[in-house]
Amino acid sequence: MRAKYLILGVALLCLLVAPGTAFAADDGDKVDASVTTVLEAAGESPVPVIVYTQTGEEGVVDRVTPDGVETTVLDGFDAVAAYLTGSEIRALARYGCVDLIVADNPVFGFDYVSSLDITNLAIGLDRVAAPAAGGPTGAGVGVAVLDSGVTTTSDLGAGRIVGWKDFVNRRTTPYDDAGHGTFVTGLIAGDGTASLPLDAGGYAEVQFRGVAPAADVVGIKVLDETGQGRASAVMAGVLWAIAHKDRYNIRVLNLSIGSNPVAPADFDPMTRVVEYAWLNGITVVCAAGNEGEFGAGGILSPGTSPYVITVGATDTRQTRTTSDDVVTYYSSVGPTLWDEYAKPDLVAPGNRLVSMRVRGSYIDVGFPQNLIPVDDYAPDDPDKDPDYLMLSGTSTSAPVCAGVAALMIGEDDTLSPDDVKVRMMTTADPLDGVSRFKQGAGRLDAAAALASTLRSPGSALSEDVGDGTTILSDEDYAAWEQATWAKYGWTRYRWNKPHWNKFRWTRSYGVKSRWGSVLANKFRWTKFRWTKFRWTSVAWSKFRWTKFRWTKFRWTEYEWAKFRWTEYEWAKFRWTILLEGQ
């Protein structure tokens, strides 16, 4: 056995294994293959990683780094995010209190281009009382938007943004240098002031209004102006939302962002943190991804979590009827990689949607052809400077669903996230001849979801349809590696080995264990057992493939600690925008 040395001056003693020149067998078990891949390319340049430690030992990272290196402490996960060199990573791997070191994967905003009048018709809001007639508006419901930020516009007054946190540039007042987060927010909560209808004293023949026009907005910036970020920033952002849930009444969380699903949901940091939010009473809505042309297995993280509502995109064909709606060719197709969960959960309009413009933002400057001319919706308006632009993608369908969630909770604040998911999925309208792995339960029906009285007696988990290779083949994994290499760069893996063997904390091929092994022991809030059951009191003609599991645990009150976020300077990825839509 290797000699070990006590490190003094810490509450919980951390053991250091004798040094070596390379990753030894024991040390290598702590360093994920993703880190090895990064280091092969970077040499001794610092690379972004997440270090998981034993409880209370996060300070070990400071011991191997020079003064001035900033870190992001992810207390809820006993983890620290930092830029470390190969030698620093090797030094950390020798500490007994370090459990695992993984790459801090890139996260990006994805986008492609509907008008909200068509969108609202497509989801059935024409069958719901209008806000002016006392219909649901989402008033008082806090919706957190993790994206590139949010800023005030004519459709989103300053009083509507009730909370703000910037994990990129640490600014204290809301802004959006990309324009993506504000566009997404407009689909959720824009009030349509800039397109006020003629009968309301305005000039517009069409009003571009969000689904929940009175909901409160909480902006959490985790992407920079070009639509890039890191998993650790998303984790910090979600934890901040949980910590401030009661202050801002955050009941809905929208993530129109995605990342390469590099691990099963049990071990993917992105899915773990959104599940934490879900189990803390926040309805999490995630975009499925725009990888539809890849085929099965294209769902992006954190939409790969079986808890959250994962939304694909439909094309309304810009008609006022839903009979011709189709799933867009770019909407990601399930089941998920690694776990084979049935995803997406449902679909919503996501092609050619219209929402708020941020003047001077990255999208505004880079894609002027996407602006909506004022003459198209308000020909008599003397102000011809456009207030709206058109984009497409599952990043636009997700906020439509998030807006409906806000309406539902605004009408009944006792609804749990599982209640919301069950009502949405059981009332969704299936599209004829479309696979469940493309449409989930079907097209979102807001009116029917609002009218539903169903309650979920447990966790409404998306169905587990395989073990990672039941439906997906080795060729599928190899194709995913090839298809994503250019987009995700250094996060690729070699799939020629048995899939589960690369996750060194999982010892048996093809065996899935919820909340298991090393991570289960270190995540303090996940020590509970699951039991499965099948409902018998509900007709499952539209929802037969979703299982429910009872949760027999109580959450401890979340304790907040201040996060520190490292500045990053890469500019490799860009918004992936389909200018014309489908």
Closest CA to 81 of 204, 214, 310, 236: 236
Q: Considering the candidates 395, 456, 459, 462, report the single residue annotated as catalytic.
A: 395
What's the CA gap between 406 and 217, in Å, rounded?
Answer: 11
Q: Which residues contact 127 (CB under 8 A, 6 or more apart)?
A: 447
Query: Catalytic: 147?
Result: yes
- Residue 106 sits at φ, ψ, to 5 deg, of -70, 145
Give the HSE-up count for residue 169: Cα atoms under 13 Å, Cβ half-sphere: 13
What's the CA gap between 486 and 465, in Å, rounded?
Answer: 30
Structure tokens at 176: 């959006």
Q: At what angle do helices 394-411 and 180-189 cross, to 10 degrees?
A: 40
Structure tokens at 52: 């998981």
- Amino acid in position 91: A
Per-position DSSP letters for 153-212, written without gaps between them: BTTB-GGGEEEEEESSS--SS---SSSHHHHHHHHHH---GGG-BGGGTSSBSS----SS
Closest CA to 144 of 283, 258, 288: 283
Query: Catalytic: 29?
Result: no
Structure tokens at 181: 């987060």
Say which DSSP state 415 is in.
-
Q: Considering the candidates 32, 99, 111, 147, report the single residue annotated as catalytic.
A: 147
C-beta separation of 113 from 581 below 8 A: yes
Q: Considering the candidates 115, 177, 180, 456, report the single residue annotated as catalytic.
A: 180
What's the CA gap between 308 and 253, in Å, rounded?
Answer: 10
Q: Which residues contact 573 (CB under 8 A, 6 or more apart)?
A: 106, 108, 226, 227, 228, 487
In total, the chain counts a number of residues equal to 582
Active site residues per annotation: 147, 180, 395
